[in-house]
Structure 1
């Protein structure tokens, strides 16, 4: 079997004749975190081969691929992959650029959550009250006051482009300090959630939830004493895991499984995506009121427990589909 000019002889453990060729276009950082040796070895033994896409050559000249995984930014790449989808409908692209683009804007990414009604699934899921600021930072205090938004407020860049800057978050304790920030940005009311955030990883139909340490509650007393805008630490690191911590059960209890399954199913359908994660918090003092605060495309799956097996099973479902379609000789 020849792929990108190289001969592939197969690996021990593959079922005879059944292979899935996965072309990937990832940044070096994403490749290192995602294509870890244990994962590649497990996938290879199941007949799944990962092949790097050469960005210096036309995509149509490479392969043949059964499936393409990608996470690159830029209009040029989006056009390349969109053109490829049109000319190679037999190849599964995870995920379509138009669907991914929906998550590049923090205002649009949560709109699908706003419209959900999950009351029959053991909980309520919503979005914190928010406001978009596109220009004129000096006008922010007046806009916040007129909108009646409650302090403190979390300030996030409006555009999510994969850069470090797009993940720089701030917590504002008073309206007037907000004029120090740089639009375009989105302001969200801060919801006390006991310092724990739930990261819900979606891989097709599979769901995996982990706890992460987050921001502590802000008391009314603290709010009255503190002024200013302060940068927030990132909570995506595996070192921030709260899964083994001795936490109050009311804070640590995972969201109900039926709620997660319904939420994941609805968002997969509405977003048109297979690979994403949801950052969700539980309102402190409640058991069943949750807020989605962020959605990320193709997150750091390497930090997800058992990701190797979960992702391999996900890819195997495409292999099974591929060979079911083949005519019987």
Structure 2
């Protein structure tokens, strides 16, 4: 018998949107995981997470208060189970400002790597943006990309506009 036959199997639950499941949970991944003593377990977000274990690890790309509550409850009862991505780590990447602030604060030697954060301005609405358009043009120049602040994976967070000049823009 091989040594893998006697090794502990690890149960890794995954809670992903359907598109991510289609893109990532392929038969080849399931086979590879199985060969390394890992069982990939689909998590049904409509059912309590705590009832879908035991799990050694939870990989998730779901958001919302109910899911956050389920993860916190699961973690409190299973402190040794890994949660990927930890809730406190992903909060900052759901907002484009805080996400880019993290990158801005990195101390990267310019000689070894090039890492640049795009210049940005934040406006609460298009009316305020238009009132400040001269400042906008002077600081950023055209063309511009206008994006929503929230980057939470929702359909709305992916809407972007190319702004070619003061009167012309196009949704992409």
TM tier, smaller? 0.7 to 0.9
Aligned length: 169
| Separation (CA, whole Å) in 2 of partners of 1:31 and 1:63 | 19
Q: 1:107 corresponds to which residue? A: 97
Q: CA deviation at 1:56?
A: 3.8
Cα gap change, 1:172 to 1:95, in 2 (>3 Å): same
Of 69, 81, 93, 1:91 maps to 81
| Separation (CA, whole Å) in 2 of partners of 1:57 and 1:129 | 43
Of 109, 121, 128, 1:139 maps to 128
Of 61, 64, 69, 1:74 maps to 64
Q: 2:170 corresponds to which residue? A: 230
C-alpha contact 2:56 2:81 (8 A) present in aligned 1? yes
C-alpha contact 1:116 1:125 (8 A) present in aligned 2? no
C-alpha contact 1:155 1:170 (8 A) present in aligned 2? yes
Task: Please state whether the residue corresponding to 1:157 is helix, strand or coil.
Answer: coil
Q: 2:143 corresponds to which residue? A: 152
Of 11, 16, 21, 1:26 maps to 16
Cα gap change, 1:38 to 1:144, in 2 (>3 Å): same
C-alpha contact 2:57 2:82 (8 A) present in aligned 1? yes
Map residues 155-194 of structure 1 onto 2, 5 A cutoff.
Answer: 155-174=146-165, 176-177=166-167
Instruction: Identify, as 1 or 2, the structure richer in helix.
Output: 2
RMSD: 2.0
Instruction: Identify, as 1 or 2, the structure richer in strand.
Output: 1
Structure 1 residue runs without a partner (length 5+): 1-11, 178-227, 233-329
| Separation (CA, whole Å) in 2 of partners of 1:121 and 1:93 | 36
Corresponding position: 1:39 with 2:29: yes
Q: CA deviation at 1:121?
A: 4.9
Q: 1:314 corresponds to which residue? A: none
Q: 1:313 corresponds to which residue? A: none
Task: Please state whether the residue corresponding to 1:131 is helix, strand or coil.
Answer: coil
| Separation (CA, whole Å) in 2 of partners of 1:144 and 1:86 | 49
Question: Runs (4+) of structure 1 moved beyond 6 Å?
Answer: none
Map residues 155-304 of structure 1 onto 2, 5 A cutoff.
Answer: 155-174=146-165, 176-177=166-167, 228-232=168-172
